[in-house]
Structure 1
Amino acid sequence: MKKKTNAMYFSATDTTKKIVSRIAEKISENLDKPSAVNVIDFTLPDVRKEPVSFTKEDIVVVGVPVYAGRVPNVLLKYLNSVKGNDALAIPVVVYGNRNYDDALIELRDILELNGFKIVAGGAFIGEHSFSKMLAKDRPDEKDMDIASDFAIRIYKKITTQDNFQILNVKGNTPYRKYYMPKNKDDSPVDIRKVTPKTNSNCTDCKLCADVCPMGSIDREDVSKLNGICIKCGACIKKCPSQAKFYDDADYLRHKYELEIDFAARSEPELFV
């Protein structure tokens, strides 16, 4: 089977990267003439300026994190610019153990509208971007084994079927509104404008500016933001000095509630 396998993902803290890469690699290993997986990592802003187009000879595993139960709205313009041209696609969403709500069905719809043929889809779990406790160290070995088995099922499907019907996945249409946390009075709170702070541990290594997917952290003064913060957790989790943190009361309350209410392990959900 002469196909080229592609791994395409947004992954600020590398959880989505791990899942998408494993699925793409295992599919590629089973092809008649396996080749290196083509990687399109669109986490950083400059990559999202480049046009991307596929052909019917491509298999594309497309992965994004779940933000507030949906595909991150900051990625919609880029995702809607990608041209499928009858390439086979596997939409994958990764969430922090709360719920993926309508993210998978939304990503499926985006890819279908862009000319992809959807052959499978999956929702996996990764360590929550807000927390080092919620879904700690996931995807773990069990998750990766599930991703490998998923890839084998996908390979069998694409080698035994010629026509792919609309793939049914869990979710609602129209999509639900973005999930919002609530305060102690049970009223919705908006944490979109919450930004990370920088403490005296900072060594000015610039790593936070390098990994910010919005290019918002000022390289001359890393305590400043020149753009929006999407709460991806990259600057906090990747800082070697633990110099970045949030101190907003509503944000911290929400983080704590997530850690308590969704401590029970969720498992991946697959659709083939």
Structure 2
Amino acid sequence: MNKKINAMYFSATGTTKKIVSALAEKISKNIDDEAIINYIDFTLPEVRKKSVSFTEEDVVIIGVPVYAGRVPNVLLKYLNAITGNGALAVPIVVYGNRNYDDALIELKDILELNGFKAIAGGAFIGEHSFSKILAKDRPDEKDIAIVIDFADKIYKKIILKDEIQTVEVKGNKPYRKYYMPKDEKGRPVDIRKVKPKTNNNCIDCKLCVNICPMGSIDAEDVSKFNGICIKCGACIKKCPVQAKYYDDKDYLRHKQELEIDFVHRREPELFI
């Protein structure tokens, strides 16, 4: 079988990368133990400036995190610029144990409108970007075992002699509105403009500058932002001296509610 495996992902803290890579590696191994996987990490802004196109010989596993129950709107321009040309696609979304809402069906729709044929899809759980305890250390060994089994099923579908059927996934049309946290009186609050602060632990290593997926952290003064913050958690979770933090009361209240209300372990949902 002459198929090229591609692994594409936006993964600020590494959870989506882990799932997409494991899927791609197992499918690739099933096809050809020595096949080379084409990795496209579009987490950083410079990569998203380049257009990408595929052919009918490509299988593309593409993963994004779920933000407010949807595909992150900051990725829409890039995702809509990818050209499928009949390539097979496996859309993957990763969420922090609350819900993936309409993110998976939205990603599938984007891919199909751009010329891909979506043959499978999945919603997986990763440690929440706001928290170090909600879905802590996921995807874990149990999740990866599910990924491996899913990859085997995708491979079997690819090698069928009959025409490969597209997949139906869970979700609403029209899509639900973006999920919004609420204050103590049940009123919606907008935390989109909230940005992390920097404490005196900072050693000015510039790591946060280099990993910010929006390129927003000022290289000369890492306590300043020159653009938006999408609350991906990268600068907080990867800081070697724990210098980044949030102090916004609405953000912190929402974080605490998530950690309390969604502590029960959710499992991946697969569609094939």
Asked if the contact 1:2–1:32 (Cα under 8 Å) also holds between the matched residues in 2, the reply is no
The Cα offsets for residues 204-261 of structure 1, whole Å up to 9 and x where unpaired, read as 0000000000000001000000000000000000000000000000000000000000
Q: Counterpart in 2 of 1:164? A: 164
Distance 1:161 1:47 in 2: 36
Q: SS at the partner of 2:13?
A: coil
TM-score normalized with structure 2 length: 0.99
Q: How many residues align?
A: 272
Distance 1:100 1:65 in 2: 9
Asked if 1:241 is matched to 2:241, the reply is: yes
Q: Counterpart in 2 of 1:141? A: 141
Asked if the contact 2:120–2:166 (Cα under 8 Å) also holds between the matched residues in 1, the reply is no
The Cα of 1:168 is off from its aligned counterpart by: 1.0
Distance 1:10 1:90 in 2: 15
What are the ranges of 5 or more consecutive residues in structure 2 without an aligned counterpart?
none
What residue identity is the alignment partner of 1:113? L
Q: SS at the partner of 1:182?
A: coil
TM-score normalized with structure 1 length: 0.99
Q: Counterpart in 1 of 2:19? A: 19
CA pair 161-134 structure 1, distance change in 2 beyond 3 A: farther
Q: Counterpart in 2 of 1:57? A: 57
- Name segments (4+ residues, structure 1) moved above 2 Å: 161-166
What residue identity is the alignment partner of 1:263? V
The Cα offsets for residues 133-152 of structure 1, whole Å up to 9 and x where unpaired, read as 00000000000110010000
What residue identity is the alignment partner of 1:15? T
Q: Counterpart in 1 of 2:28? A: 28
Distance 2:107 2:5 in 1: 19
What are the ranges of 5 or more consecutive residues in structure 1 without an aligned counterpart?
none
The Cα of 1:178 is off from its aligned counterpart by: 0.1
Q: Counterpart in 2 of 1:95? A: 95
Distance 1:197 1:178 in 2: 25
Question: How do residues 1-272 of structure 1 correspond to structure 2 at under 5 angstroms?
Answer: 1-32=1-32, 34-272=34-272
Distance 2:2 2:100 in 1: 34
The Cα offsets for residues 146-174 of structure 1, whole Å up to 9 and x where unpaired, read as 00100000000010154234421110000
Q: CA RMSD in A?
A: 0.8
Distance 1:161 1:209 in 2: 49
Q: Percent identity?
A: 76
The Cα of 1:33 is off from its aligned counterpart by: 6.4
